[in-house]
Amino acid sequence: MWRGRDALTAEALYSTWGAACRASAHPLFHVSSRHPFWKMRHHRLPRMTTISDRGLRMKLTVDGTDHELDIETEMPLLWVLRDELGLTGVKYGCGIAQCGACTVHIDGQAVRSCQVAAGDVWGPVTTIHGLGTPETLHAVQAAWITHQVAQCGYCQSGQIMQAAALLATTPAPDDADIDDAMSGNLCRCGTYPRIRAAVKTAAATLAEASK
Strands (E) located in 17-84: 49-52, 55-62, 65-70
pLDDT digits (tens, 9 = 90+) for 39-88: 444 344 444 555 544 447 889 999 999 999 999 999 999 999 999 999 99
Spatial separation of the C-alpha atoms in residues 98 and 10, rounded to whole Å: 11
Spatial separation of the C-alpha atoms in residues 67 and 168, rounded to whole Å: 26
Sign of CA dihedral 101, 184, 176, 127: positive
CATH of domain 139-209: 1.10.150.120
Give the pLDDT confidence score for residue 40 in this predicted structure: 44
Of 57, 77, 183, 87, the closest CA to residue 121 belongs to 77
Is residue 102 predicted with pLDDT exceeding 50?
A: yes
pLDDT digits (tens, 9 = 90+) for 164-200: 999 999 999 999 999 999 999 999 999 999 999 999 9
Q: Where are the domains of the chain?
A: 5-131, 139-209
Give the pLDDT confidence score for residue 35 in this predicted structure: 44
52-65 in b/e form (b: 16+ CB < 10 A) is eeeebebebebbee
Give the pLDDT confidence score for residue 51 in this predicted structure: 52
Q: Does domain 5-131 have CATH number 3.10.20.30?
A: yes
Residue 129, SS3 per DSSP? helix
**Average model confidence (pLDDT) across the chain:** 82
Maximal C-alpha separation, the chain: 53
